[in-house]
Amino acid sequence: ARPANERNTYGYQRAEVFGALINAVLLIVLCVWIAVEAVQRLLHPSDVEVAGGLMIVVATIGLIANAISMWLLSAAQRTSINVRGAYLE
């Protein structure tokens, strides 16, 4: 809760800022990895069966979980940069 000073220009909440940085870097790495895999599959398609019904069920559960997470984080995302990052994710 102490404010910033000459020595600690970020104040004493650096852990939160570094946590947000690590979260952002991990998201970027994950996005690049997914993009590379997608391009490889487009260039070299294989005969893989996709279980469409199961995929729709899992995607629907993920969508509901994301909506609940956004709802839970909506109030706190204005006060914390880490929670804001999780909210936007």
pLDDT, tens only, 70-79: 888 888 877 8
Whether 3 contacts 11, CB under 8 Å = yes
Angle between helices 81-88 and 52-73 (to 10 degrees): 150
Spacing of C-alpha 59 from chain mean position: 16
pLDDT, tens only, 30-54: 999 999 999 998 898 887 788 899 9
pLDDT of res. 85: 78
Q: Rounded distance, CA 17 to CA 52, Å?
A: 40
Tokens of 51: 């279980």
